[in-house]
Amino acid sequence: MADTGMKPTDGTPFRLVRDTGTLAEGAAKLAGEIRAAPIKDVLAQANRKAVRKGAPEAFGSMPKPSVWYAFDQGDQETADWYPQGLTCGADSGTIPVSVFVATWYYRPEEGERGIRVTFLSPSTLKYRHALLVEAAPDGSYKPIDIHAGGVACYGDLLYVADTTRGLRVFDLNNVLDLTSAQAGVGDGERVGRHGGRLHAFGYRYVIPQTDFWRVAVKGARFSFVGLDRSTTPHTLISGEYAEDHREGRVVRWNLELDGEPADAFVMGHEKIQGAISRDGRWYLSQSAGSGANGRLLVYENGKLARRPFPIGPEDLTARGGKVWSLAEFRRKRVVFGVNL
């Protein structure tokens, strides 16, 4: 099929409606019992360490970039968890430390463990996982069974893609430290309240969902999330992964979010895993399966440039003059940056 480029389209199918329900109440109940930790404290208590320029197999046939970080051996080898979304403190504008934030989803159908986020310091290479949960007004909570294909951070809020439903919202003021609970961290096989203790599959930190922007009409897909700080006002981005055709769409909403799309485009390419825009230029992350290099597609003034990208590239973010992504497949799990 011929390249169709970034063509404007109707954004109405992506209109969002706010559906907070009892989420904020449930999160507040938990936060009333468990001390919140700022991101700098989470990083100070990090229990894993990335490897600078590790897992070089991720880059396949492409020239290696100047900077990348590989997750540790346990996270490289696991077949249970797969990284998907990526954002950073620069997107937030308020996080006072340098940090990447990645989402992972739990793959096995049995024993669902939901989704987690990783806080990674590019300066120390230390990182830590935290479990994302949905809390009820009585203070009970459960894991969230979604793909979490993308994430963006703006101010104190994390926006996480929920493929068929819209955008789930988490407040980074509510990174809750279970060691502050009366009974401490529970065991690694339970989640929620059991026997007077709080459990989170062994994770020290949980982050309860506080809000939900649901798609108003079924049919649109939310496969990834990004941000554009070059627009006025700043815009939130999400779009569709389309495998069997090239009709995936990408949409922007003005921030502060009101649910009405600001603009929308047909991307004209299949297998798009992430998208961001900067100063009128679009960057699209395109995958090609577990055995071949992906591509970074760059649109500017109607012209397309194709750049080499690693195997299994996912969501996109921007930091320090580079576009960053992460790779999802076992033994190739890296966070990497290439020039904008």
Average pLDDT over residues 293-310: 96
The burial class, CB within 10 Å (0-12 / 13-18 / 19+), for 3 is exposed
Report yes or no on 200 lying in a domain: yes
Determine what percent of the chain is predicted with pLDDT higher than 70. 97
Residue 115 has pLDDT above 50, yes or no: yes
Within-domain flag for 301: yes
Domain that holds residue 171: 7-339
Lookup result for tokens 């339970």: 190
pLDDT of residue 5: 75
pLDDT surpasses 50 at 340 = yes
Name the domain count of the chain: 1
Tell me the torsion sign for CA atoms 67, 227, 36, 185: negative
Nearest in space to 272 (alpha carbons), one of 255, 305, 299, 295: 295
Query: For all residues of the chain together, what is the average pLDDT?
Result: 94
User: Quick one: which of 296, 292, 312, 293 has its CA closest to 304?
Assistant: 296
- The whole-number pLDDT of residue 1 equals 34
2 token code pair: 């011929």
- Split at pLDDT 50, 70, 90, the class of 245 is low
> Which residue has tokens 């540790």?
72
Q: CA 336: distance to chain centroid?
A: 15
Looking at residues 76-89, what average pLDDT do you find? 98
Q: Is residue 2 part of a domain?
A: no
pLDDT at 254 (0 to 100): 98
With 0-12 / 13-18 / 19 or more C-beta atoms within 10 angstroms meaning exposed / middle / buried, residue 18 is middle
> What are the residues whose beta carbons fall under 8 Å from the beta carbon of 92, sequence distance 6 or more?
153, 154, 155, 156, 172
pTM score: 0.96
Q: What CATH code is carried by the domain that includes residue 202?
A: 2.120.10
Q: Is the pLDDT of residue 143 over 50?
A: yes
Please give the pLDDT value at position 280.
Answer: 93
Summarised one tens digit per residue, pLDDT across range 249-266 is: 999 999 999 999 999 999
Asked whether the predicted pLDDT for residue 2 surpasses 50, the reply is no
Q: Is residue 252 domain-resident? A: yes
Q: Can you spell out the DSSP letters for 84-153? A: EEEEEHHHHS---S--EEEEEEE--SSS---EEEEEE-TTT-EEEEEEEEEE-TTS-EEE--S----EEE
Is 299 among the domain residues?
Answer: yes
Does 1 map to a domain? no
Band (4; pLDDT cuts 50, 70, 90): low
Residue pLDDT, tens place only, 62-81: 999 999 999 999 999 999 99
Residue 316 maps to a domain: yes
143 with 153: CB under 8 angstroms? no
Q: What tens digit of pLDDT does each residue of 185-243 get?
A: 667 789 988 877 889 999 999 999 999 999 998 899 999 999 999 999 999 999 999 98
* Total number of residues shown for the chain: 340
Q: Are 68 and 53 in contact (CB under 8 A)?
A: yes
3-state secondary structure of 62: coil
Domain-embedded: residue 48: yes
* Cβ neighbours, 10 Å, residue 199: 22
State mean pLDDT over 113-119: 98
HSE-up of residue 16 (Cα within 13 Å, Cβ side): 31
Measured CA to CA, the distance from residue 48 to residue 65 in angstroms comes to 23
Q: How many C-beta atoms surround the C-beta of residue 209 within 10 A?
A: 24
Q: Model confidence over 318-332: pLDDT tens digits?
A: 999 999 999 999 999
